[in-house]
Structure 1
Amino acid sequence: MKNTSRDVFPPQLKGKRVLLATESFGPVNGVSRTTLSLVEYLRENGVELAVVAPKYEGSQASLQAQTRKQNYQSNELRLSGYPLPYNPDLTVVYPFRLDEVYRQTFQPDIVYLASPASVGFQLLLQIRQLLRPPVVLLNFQTDLAAYSEILLPRPLALGAVWLLASVQGWLFRHKAVHTVFYPSSGIFSYLEQAGAPVDRLVKLGRGVDTQLFHPSRRDEAYRRQIAPNGEIILVCVCRIAPEKGFEFLAQVAARLVQVSLPFKMLIVGGNRNPAVEAQVRRLFDSVRDHVVFTGFQMGMDLARAYACGDLFLHCSITETFGLVVLEAMASGLPVIARDQGGPSDIVQDQRTGYLVPPSDLDTFVELVQRVSCDENLRTNLAAAARQYADETTWEKINRRVAWRIADAFDEHTRRQTTRRPILDIVGKGYRLIERLRLRVAVLFIWFMWMISVVPLIVHGSKIVPRALQMIRGVSTSK
């Protein structure tokens, strides 16, 4: 195996059983698209894969629209839970038992956790109780602490951030966890402070479909529909939600109107909570003639939306990576982004776009003006952006993940072989203890549900209006 080229799929993974658990599999978001790409790659290369994910309304219809091969839906377990009030596409899964998951899928050789939260945390806690736990790899894709800081009132937010960091650090330190993938330098710092083992942290970006997202998707008829008077088209793609920086984007739009820049702002995305989407849209009431909301789009429609733009604006500061930034660059758009989170590691300042201090509205607006009015500058930035995206295909990213999984499995197998005689001697007695530990773990999960998740659900209807009120207050004050 040592002489095997890493430019191909690791042959030792073929036929292995991988249990892939994810918090989002089907909704239109970066985590879901990233996970779906890996699922397709592993199955195409002969891995026996079971997917465990939350149920959500419309899950099958959405998944069928994104899945390229119908048989990829086999061996999929959907867990019941409670949808979050401010984002119904995300579900907090009810407490479940590991043995029930295994019974409905299989006993895995490898466990892979994508963006662990209500599903991943429960699996990790129960895996810790096993006599011979499978090897675990996880991909830290969602900064729950950053969302908590924005969506919750300060006393509750501080408690939530502390609790999340404590739980994540404790779970990630377990010996079964071989690798923790992280997407950006900011997340590395967070994980290090949370107590995750630094020697197991591995940086992993995301890939992009450079054939789907391509400058050739530019549609002049669609451009005329959006900007009938030849205005510059500014594109923003993300879920319509308070934490995505829309208060900042609305202020940018208002300032651009003040300086008489002829522009149209194309905002692609939505939210299955109509009240949340309506409240965010109201932020743009004063500039509504310059803003076009398209709702959710994907596939060719999404690729066309990107390619028909002239400049991509990214105002969220909660992104662990920012897949939309990479898709925009693949589509030939320069990017102007606030310099925080994942985009800070993607955008090459002054080469593929610009990074702006998160609170510097003046500089952000000035750069939008400059790039919009300078066609040569915009062309050069766009070419460099596309060139950068060409080096970040899904094939390369997924192959890196596959080899890391293979290495983890090989190391785990060697360790298990050396320990097996001792475990066989104490096996029967220990299994009784193991079953007891698993039951205690499930009881602990129910306890955590009662003290943390239930209050969040009960007060969920208050969280969104409070967050939106905060947004409007910030906008008014500035």
Structure 2
Amino acid sequence: MQTADLRIALFTGNYNYVRDGANQALNRLVGYLLSQGASVRVYAPTVAEPAFPPTGDLVSIRSIPFPGRSEYRFPLRIQRSVRADCAAFAPNVVHVASPDVSAHHAVSWARKRQLPILASVHTRFETYPRYYNMAWGEPIIEAILRRFYRRCDALVAPSESMAQVLREQRMNYDISIWSRGVDRETFHPGRRDNAWRQALGIADDVVTIGFLGRLVMEKGLDVFSDTIDELTRRNVRHKVLVIGDGPARGWLEARLPDAAFAGFQTGADLGRAVASMDVLFNPSVTETFGNVTLETMACRLPVVAAAATGSQSLVDDGVSGRLIPPGAVHQFAEALRAYIEQPQLRLAHGAAGEARSGEFSWDRINQTVADTYLRLIRQKRAGSRRGQE
């Protein structure tokens, strides 16, 4: 059996209605699979005006706005018409990319038909409650996730550090790596544009600390702003550049009134914005990989990040950036000050990061997922034969 023989039914809670790192990876995966001759059918919530066109065939599943976060959709039980569509498509493997209601039903549908099931892990959902004063809910969410992932045949995680967390949480015993790639045409040092920086009020001789990502509290915006306050108290000259948008933008603008906000960027504009920073500060602990970290490294810039899943597999502490204990504001500030006051250190660590980013090729990475599909199909068929003997 070859990649071209694959027929994949992909269920996800967000394929294209709001742009994020997870659905960018899924769309790239589908594009690669289609280019190799595989058949893919995607089942996900849809909206009238999505953030970008979907790659491949997209079938809408029922959903409602997520309470308190209406830009997101909460998938519901997959309706009869979707089950009929999936049966007519006749997949030989099912891929679930978010542990929501529709995915639970998709797993049950696949298990009843003895189809292999692969789950991809894209974010640490169990950490979200701590950003909304509901940390008590983390063990409950972890237990729900464990039940879901154990009903799947295998998991793929975007980094070894995340895979290790999943093993420690006993989510599954078959966990492999589906890493992430970087678009070297979009992200490279040559994208830097001092005139663009100047238009945002950033002087050429001021070291710029960048934040890159969706502006939501679970990205560590409180730690980011507290650290910037600490630098200001220490009289360390700097400028903050925020790249991205989201429901917490107003909060962050009020919290950091002197920062430059570039808003949502994409394509070449995003590459220009990232390359025009001097150092990335990523305090988030929710990422399973850290696409923004890799994109920044490709632009020859150092990274100061929380020592958490994702960044730990990308940043070599003291070589291409700094890994700091989550929430350690004073240590974050000290690491940033070193890069601000020591340009040679900034250049050396940026060069090391760029070299490391060269190891991430999208085609090679996505073929590992195709190989996992093929392995699971072989294992399922071998198990069925043994059961008939």
Among 338, 342, 350, the residue aligned to 1:374: 342
Partner of 1:83: 65
Q: Which amino acid aligns with 1:84?
A: F
Q: Does 2:75 match 1:96? A: no
Task: Return the match for 1:135 from 87, 95, 116.
Answer: 116
Q: Deviations over 1:271-313 (max 9, x none)?
A: 1x4xx432233222xxx22x01122111111111111111111
Q: Distance in 2 between matches of 1:306 and 1:335?
A: 12
Where do residues 393-408 of structure 1 align in structure 2 (5 Å cutoff)? 393-408=361-376
Selected match of 1:162 from 103, 120, 139 = 139
2:177 to 187, 196, 203: 203
Q: TM-score, normalised by structure 2?
A: 0.92
1:229 CA displacement: 5.3
1:265 Cα deviation after fit: 0.9
Structure 1 distance, partners of 2:194, 2:175, is 45
* Cα separation, 1, equivalents of 2:48 and 2:240: 30
CA contact (8 A) 1:210 1:389 kept: no
Question: 1 or 2 for the larger relative contact order (CA 8 Å, sep ≥6)?
Answer: 1
Q: Which runs of 5+ in 2 are unaligned?
A: none
Give 2:107's aligned residue: 124
Contact 1:147 1:318 in 2 (8 A): yes
- For 2:8, the equivalent position in structure 1 comes to 18
Instruction: Report Cα offsets for 1:147-197 as digits up to 9, x if no partner.
Output: 12322534xx43xx33333333223333xx332112345544543354333
Runs of 4+ in 1 over 6 A off after TM superposition: none
**Equivalent residues in 2 for 1:263-412 (5 A)?**
263-271=238-246, 273=247, 276-284=248-256, 288-289=257-258, 291-412=259-380
- The 8 Å contact of residues 334 and 353 in structure 1, kept in 2 or not, is answered as yes
Cα shift readout 1:14-50 (whole Å, capped 9, x = no counterpart): 0431111122212221101111110110011111110
Percent identity reads 25
The structural deviation recorded for 1:121 is: 2.4
Quote the residue 1:462 is aligned against. none
Out of 188, 203, 207, the residue aligned to residue 214 of structure 1 is 188
Which structure has the bigger radius of gyration?
1
Looking at structure 2, the residues matched to 145 and 48 of structure 1 have their Cα atoms a distance apart, in angstroms, of 33
Figure out how many residues of one structure are paired with residues of the other and give that number: 386
Decide whether aligned partners of structure 1 residues 329 and 89 sit closer, same or farther in structure 2, where only a CA change above 3 A counts: farther
| 3-state SS, counterpart of residue 25 of structure 1 | coil
What letter is aligned with 2:309?
G
Report matched runs for 1:231-242 at 5 Å: 231-242=206-217
Q: Which whole-Å CA distance do the structure 1 matches of 2:295 and 2:43 have between them?
A: 27
TM-score w.r.t. the length of structure 1 is 0.75
Write the mapping of 1:443-458 to structure 2, written as runs, cut at 5 A.
none
Question: 1:357-382: CA deviations, max 9, x gaps?
Answer: 12322221111111112121111111
CA shift, 1:396, in A, is: 1.8
The RMSD of aligned alpha carbons is 2.2
Q: CA deviation at 1:349?
A: 0.2
Offset at residue 95 of structure 1 (A): 1.7
Partners of 1:162 and 1:248 lie apart in 2 by: 23
SS in 2 for 1:180: strand
Q: Which runs of 5+ in 1 are unaligned?
A: 1-10, 423-478
Helix, strand or coil at the partner of 1:115: coil
Structure 2 residue matching 1:83: 3-state secondary structure = strand
Question: Is this contact kept in 1: 2:62–2:79, CA < 8 A?
Answer: no
Whichever residue aligns with residue 247 of structure 1, its letter is D
Counterpart for residue 439 of structure 1 = none
Give secondary structure in 1 for the equivalent of 2:2: helix
More helix by share: 1
